[in-house]
Amino acid sequence: DGGITQSPKYLFRKEGQNVTLSCEQNLNHDAMYWYRQDPGQGLRLIYYSQIVNDFQKGDIAEGYSVSREKKESFPLTVTSAQKNPTAFYLCASTKISSGANVLTFGAGSRLTVL
Amino acid sequence: GESVGLHLPTLSVQEGDNSIINCAYSNSASDYFIWYKQESGKGPQFIIDIRSNMDKRQGQRVTVLLNKTVKHLSLQIAATQPGDSAVYFCAESEGNNRLAFGKGNQVVVIP
């Protein structure tokens, strides 16, 4: 089945540690996105990538980094510079076409800083 | 599971009744709108979309209404079922720009 897979589902981190969240899709989608979700909040865009080896900052990129070495993969690193990293992280992807922006989401990764 | 519905506007609806979820958007140039459903501990799922050249679109048990004059979007769910309990997000975009998401509305179905 085609889909988008995030791992791990739950991750615990000590303060000062970097952690990397995995996102893989086999939908042959061009663009991939990382969102952060906090309780009672909408989705806030961290980073996105429309082609391999290229990515752009979203609205809350500080303290995060990404790479897009393969079309299928868009890992997110939460660095120690992120002051409040505890959140639910969602990866999404879409096929780039004219005027349609339907995103397919993964199941999410819950990061907790101890 | 994950709770993403804390402090959200909440609609409580009796099973079998119709639900109406409302969304006000901000960009008058937005030309594409989507509704997503998010169950606890899961990622959002696409429900239905609508372009700005339409004011109504129907799917299976769902209808989206768009009023561009007052920048208002609504999602109607017919014969609400327990499985419809979730947080519902609207999102808007202008051209091929990225989606902007609303904060969400919690729907609780009472059996």
Q: What is the pLDDT of residues B49-75, one digit of tens each?
A: 999 999 999 999 999 999 999 999 999
Strands A76-78 and A87-94: unpaired
Q: Give the tens place of pLDDT for each residue, B6-54.
A: 568 899 999 999 999 999 998 999 999 999 999 998 999 999 999 999 9
Residues of B in contact with A42 (CB under 8 A): 89, 101-104
Q: Give dist(CA A72, CA A22) in Å, integer.
A: 11
Distance of CA A85 to the CA centre of its chain: 13
Q: Give the tens place of pLDDT for each residue, B74-100.
A: 999 999 999 999 999 999 988 767 888
Residue B109 pLDDT > 70: yes
Contact between A40 and B43 using a beta-carbon 8 Å cutoff: no
pLDDT 10s digit of each residue in chain A, 114 long?
669 999 999 999 998 899 999 999 999 999 999 999 998 788 999 999 999 999 999 999 999 999 999 999 999 999 988 889 999 999 999 988 755 678 999 999 999 998
Please report the sign of the dihedral spanned by the C-alpha atoms of residue A67, residue A68, residue A69, residue A74. positive
Contact between B44 and A107 using a beta-carbon 8 Å cutoff: no
Chain A residues contacting B via beta carbons under 8 Å:
6, 33, 35, 37, 39-43, 45, 48, 58, 88, 90, 92, 96, 98-108, 110
Query: Which of the residues B27, B48, B98, B106 would you substitute to probe the A interface, choosing the one with the greatest number of A C-beta atoms within 10 Å?
Result: B98
**What's the pLDDT score for residue A16?**
87
Residues of A in contact with B6 (CB under 8 A): 39-40
For tokens 């899961």, what's the residue?
B42
Distance of CA B66 to the CA centre of its chain: 12
How distant, in Å, are the alpha carbons of A69, A112, B1, B103 from that of B24?
38, 32, 29, 11
Any idea of the CA torsion for A95, A98, A100, A103, to the nearest 10 degrees? 20
Q: Give dist(CA B46, CA B38) in Å, integer.
A: 9
**What's the pLDDT score for residue B31?**
92
